[in-house]
Amino acid sequence: MSKRFLEECVSDAQPSISQWRTSTRRARGGRPKGRVVLVGAGPGDPELLTMKAYRCIQSADVVVYDRLVSSEIVDLIPSGKALIYVGKAKGLHSVPQDKINDILVAEASAGRTVCRLKGGDSFIFGRGGEEMKVLRDAGVNVEVIPGITAASGCTSYAGIPLTHRGLSQGCTLVTAHAEKDLSSNWSALASLNHTLVFYMGLSKLQFITEKLMAEGMSPSMPIAVIEKGCSVNQRVFVSTLSDVLTAIQGKNLVSPSLIVVGEVVSLSSELSWFVTQTQEEIEQLSA
């Protein structure tokens, strides 16, 4: 997708981000007032950006972005714009959340409009609420631009509906990342007639499957692991709770990977439509 194509898509949309900036940046003692926009960049495919998100990326003074923002979306940021990378990765050096908060407050306090760009949606396991609270407490104006979260984006690209008549009457989103222990009501999760979607759960896959089976979920329950969903490098592995660890052994999966548990996963072979070269190779090997 070209940058020009996106520009044409949003050229006639109103109100524009530039108009919004002009109307909201008021002088206080002769000094412009900055603000922060929490922008959800979606799960990877740049064409899944909203028009409002794209306008903000183009027009903000500073872009503060995370590791999960895809390189294709980063390439849409105009050259010469101030960029601040604050990515986090398990086991690697990362910017502490307190430091990120300080950066946002400082940039806005200097009178700049800050695009705080996050993968997925800011308010779904994105710490958007935490950052917004800090900014509000510091007297900084904040706006939120929602993004497509991984649960809906990655499952759609894998041909897995989150709900389906006769198979799933709801969907439960669970974070598999915790400061200490991963504590959830596993009995409730195992008994719900819901699709379960675990974010950031690759390193805890064995723990998740064992917990669900210990609470009565069938070992034959379908499960999918979606790696790098909504990108040309997407890989989807479908198995069962009891066999998934064997199914992905030696596949060298990396984060971000989404775990989906539920009867709806069984529809993936029939409904799959987004097939990359890598996925074709996986299917040939499993045939």
By annotation, the residues acting in catalysis are 66, 88
Strand partners of residue 39? 117, 145
Written as one string, the DSSP assignment of 209-258 is HHHHHHTT--TT-EEEEEESTTSTT-EEEEEETTTHHHHTTTS---SSEE
User: How long a stretch of residues is the chain?
Assistant: 287
Compute φ and ψ for 256, nearest 5 degrees. Answer: -80, 135
Token reading at 153:
């984006």
Place of tokens 């609470």: 215
Q: Could you give the strand order of the β-sheet that contains 222-227, starting from the edge strand earlier in sequence?
A: 170-175, 194-199, 257-261, 222-227, 235-240
